[in-house]
Structure 1
Amino acid sequence: MDETRQQDSPSAQRSFHPQKYAPAKGPGRRVSKEEAGNPHGKPSKSMGTRGEDQEKGTGEKGMHDSARGRSQRPSGTKDASATTGVDPQDPQGMRSAG
């Protein structure tokens, strides 16, 4: 069996003791006139739909809300009336109300 030994690594000593080996901090950067104050302007109102409201579904024709698995996470299916194409077909076991 090979003998296991640890090699001396001076870079590891420098890496784990930056207060001793790292150079002092510089002056930092200058903040420009454009960045000073509030650079992003006024906050805007969110236009997205809240998660609580997304669960309710869209009510679009051909779309069906369902729950998936034991966790009952929201899911959904669609039938041929919600599909665009040359010859939309309903999935096996589903019939469109026509």
Structure 2
Amino acid sequence: MDETRQQDNPSAHRSFHPDKYAPAKGPGRTVSKEESGNPHGTPTKSMSSRGEEQGKGSGDKGVHDTGPRGRSQRPSGTKDASAFTGVDPQDPPESETRSAG
């Protein structure tokens, strides 16, 4: 097994002693006219619903609210076959079935 040794690294010493080796701070940058004040502009009114309002239920057909679940009290729910869309629904609703002929 080789002998472990540490190489001399003078830059490491300079890195950990910036007060002694680092140059003095410069003047900084000047703030432009566009940046001064409120650079992000004026706030806008949100057009979407709040999460609390969205969680009250969509009212979609076939979707059922089962109330809050667990310690976090997150909303939960189920949906029946009428809520599924697709080519081959497993249990199509009676009003949408077509008669053969």
The normalised TM-score by structure 2 is: 0.57
Distance, in Å, in 2 between the alignment partners of 1:6 and 1:75 is 60
Q: What runs of 5+ residues in structure 1 fail to find an aligned partner?
A: 91-95
Distance, in Å, in 2 between the alignment partners of 1:31 and 1:52 is 41
Name the residue aligned to 1:82.
83
- C-alpha RMSD of the superposition: 3.4
> Which letter maps to 1:43?
P
Name the residue aligned to 1:93.
none
The normalised TM-score by structure 1 is: 0.58
1:3-82 aligned within 5 A: 10-66=10-66, 67-82=68-83
Per-residue CA deviations over 1:71-97 (Å, capped at 9, x if unaligned) read 43212332222222112236xxxxx79
Identity of aligned residues (%): 78
Q: What runs of 5+ residues in structure 2 fail to find an aligned partner?
A: 96-101
Higher Rg of the two aligned structures: 2
Q: Secondary structure at the match of 2:64?
A: strand
Q: Post-superposition, which runs of at least 4 consecutive aligned residues in structure 1 deviate over 6 A?
A: 4-8
